[in-house]
Amino acid sequence: MKYHSDTLVTHKSAIMRTPANVLAEDVCLPAAVLKQSALRNNIDWMQRYADARGVSLAPHGKTTMTPWIFQAQQQAGAWAIGVGSAWQAGAAMASGIKRVLMVNQLVGKANMQLIAQLKQHYHEVDFACCVDSVDNAAALAEFFSGQNQTLDVLVELGVPGGRCGCRSTDAALALAQKIHDLPGLRLRGLELYEGVLHGDDPQPQVEALLRDAAELACGMEHLVDGEFILTGAGTVWYDVVCNIWLNAKKPAQCRIVIRPGCYITHDRGIYADAQQTLIERDRVACDLGGDLASALELVAMVQSVPEADRAVVNFGKRDCAFDAGLPQPIAHYRHGQALPFQPQAIVSVGVMDQHCMVKLAPESDVRVGDILVFGTSHPCLTFDKYKTLLVIDDDYRVIDQLDTLF
């Protein structure tokens, strides 16, 4: 069936009455909403942290793929925006971002052609991607030298059993030398992602990888003209990355770049736990003042109460992240008015494509048509399920709509 541009609504959380309040049923539910006050707090807090540590911030834009957020991060002082694909790089450039780090490998002639076109069209944008093999480096060199272009690259250092990245510092150093000798490529530095290290106590492994990277950077220094980019740090270990690299021997002209992404909305799950642990171990974060706040919520309606201890809410796997814990209710409304809420009295226990099953304690008063607000865990996989996100004030009044570019 052909999709017509005159369709009445263009996204699933459409506003049906204005001015709109999500709690007044003015918006089609379920809806992913962003609290403006928390969003701005998080942008400010992480930039202040990077500034206090003397490092550069390159938020990972693949978390949100939202131009307004990219621009707000850049305006607040972000040095770059990180992305994971050629498409995402183009979205960032089209959003007015002046420096884009594609912290992934660029493979395939079509993706190379897209980057070549972006480099030509957005010639003022500083772009670099990652390389972890001689084969990839050779393919990139052949393509971009054939286009009379120079592609900036970072060697990626990985770990055995992880994802991409050279599996040893010797392999990474040999690759750096190869890149230096190839036409069409310019070596800019070294990249890693320590978040692939897991276990009961991964911090010693993280610190060892970071020390190896600093030593490797010194070995690569002579192959890089000018500033050496040394970059890592997701949303869990950014303080440890700063601690190790700021105190390690490194290239003379070294820019340390951290790349947290999920801080932008924070969450009420894995990143809330990680941030609390970070605050406890990092004096800079502790003394900075304030903290990250959960900005992303899911608002949905009770559509059925088929059993006394069971309700069904009108969202599911198509509407929210569920890989790091189910969204859990944090507030209960009826006819726009808040009802008393006890967290353990209403608990999500399962999701299907469009349904969330909620277990009710005996004293719970949950009815069809009630609105439940849910906190989420791992925001990346909620963002990518929405073409448009609603920005709200603290009273759930809609004050803006932000389009995403997934």
Q: Quick one: tokens of 146?
A: 């054939």
Q: Quick one: tokens of 294?
A: 């959960």
**30 and 65 together in one domain:** no
Q: What is the mean pLDDT of residues 25-34?
A: 98
Is residue 401 pLDDT above 80, yes or no? yes
1: in domain: no
Which three-class secondary structure state does DSSP give residue 304? strand
User: pLDDT over 90 for what percent of the chain?
Assistant: 96
Residue 192: CATH number of its domain: 3.20.20.10
For residue 6, what pLDDT is reported?
Answer: 62
24: in domain: yes
Give the pLDDT band of residue 234 (cuts 50, 70, 90): very high
| Residues 94, 144: Cα–Cα separation, whole Å | 22
299: in domain: yes
Q: In this structure, what are the phi and psi dihedrals at residue 194, rounded to the nearest 5 degrees?
A: -75, -10
**202 and 315 together in one domain:** no
Is residue 7 pLDDT above 80, yes or no? no
**152 and 96 together in one domain:** yes
pLDDT in tens, 63-93: 999 999 999 999 999 999 999 999 999 999 9
**124 and 230 together in one domain:** yes
For residue 4, what pLDDT is reported?
Answer: 57
Which structural domain range is residue 370 located in?
A: 20-34+293-403
**384 and 313 together in one domain:** yes
**82 and 196 together in one domain:** yes
**106 and 240 together in one domain:** yes
101: in domain: yes
Cis peptide before 340 (omega within 30 of 0): no
Neighbour count for residue 46 (Cβ, 10 Å): 25
6: in domain: no
**195 and 341 together in one domain:** no
355: in domain: yes
For residue 1, what pLDDT is reported?
Answer: 46
**82 and 206 together in one domain:** yes
Report the domain count for the chain.
2
For residue 2, what pLDDT is reported?
Answer: 53
**347 and 230 together in one domain:** no
216: in domain: yes
Q: How far is CA 61 from CA 103, 189, 338, in A?
A: 11, 20, 35
Q: What is the mean pLDDT of residues 153-157?
A: 98
Which three-class secondary structure state does DSSP give residue 147? coil
pLDDT in tens, 102-149: 999 999 999 999 999 999 999 999 999 999 999 999 999 999 999 999
For residue 363, what pLDDT is reported?
Answer: 84
Is residue 362 pLDDT above 90, yes or no? yes
114: in domain: yes
For residue 225, what pLDDT is reported?
Answer: 95
Residue 332: CATH number of its domain: 2.40.37.20
Is residue 281 pLDDT above 60, yes or no? yes
**158 and 98 together in one domain:** yes
